[in-house]
Amino acid sequence: MTYSFIFKDSFMDLTKTRIREIQTDEEVLLHPKWSFPIGKYSFFSGKEEYKAISTKEHFIHNAFVVLQPDGKEIVRIKNLSLHKKKSIFKELRMVYSQNSFHINSTLAFKTITISNGKEVILTANKISSIFKNLLEMYDYEVQVHQTMDLPFIVWVAIFKGIHLLIRR
């Protein structure tokens, strides 16, 4: 199974956002909650609620952690340290089930990909208007090629984390 959705950016995470899966019409409500210094997010699909937090690791590295409804960690996304980067563009690392995945971006964040070294797991292409680009609000058309048995709601949370960290 694959997923396909349009990720719409909101201004400074002030508003709730609805994200709909194109093929199945499943809808996820992304609800940012203001807190400092840790950003908190809730993701709702029907009666399911997953949470995520944006935090710092070792005082310098930004991280985004997706949590199951019972509070256990599912996925951790973090900045790649400078000595591990392979290009001048922003790079992140995603850890899921003790497996590590590389997240790459291209110039001006036009394309974002997740891969495991052999296969591409996710691709996202920027589709923002000129007006939104001026406000640094980026919308993406996202294709999840391999779901790794994660539900759609978790892929929305993962992409929210990537979207947040790629711009910091």
Q: What is the chain's pLDDT, residue by residue, as a tens digit (168 residues)?
A: 799 999 988 876 778 899 999 999 999 999 998 777 788 999 999 999 999 999 887 767 789 999 999 999 999 999 877 656 667 678 899 999 999 999 999 888 899 999 998 999 999 999 978 887 777 788 999 999 999 999 999 999 999 999 999 876
pTM attached to this predicted model: 0.92
d(CA 98, CA 75): 9
Q: At CB < 8 A and 24+ separation, what contacts does 66-69 make?
A: 66/154, 66/157, 66/158, 66/161
d(CA 10, CA 2): 25
Q: What is the pLDDT of residue 104?
A: 93
SS (H, E, C) 18-35: EEEECCCCCEEEEEEECC
Residue ranges in the chain assigned as alpha helix (H) = 130-134, 152-166
Say how many C-beta atoms besides its own lie within 10 A of residue 140's C-beta: 23
Residue 17 in 3-state DSSP? Answer: strand
Q: What is the pLDDT of residue 40?
A: 92
Tokens of 72: 């256990």
Concatenate the DSSP letters of all residues of 62-78 into one string: EEEEEE-TTS-EEEEEE
Query: Of the candidates 158, 50, 30, 7, which has an alpha carbon nearest to the alpha carbon of residue 95?
Result: 158
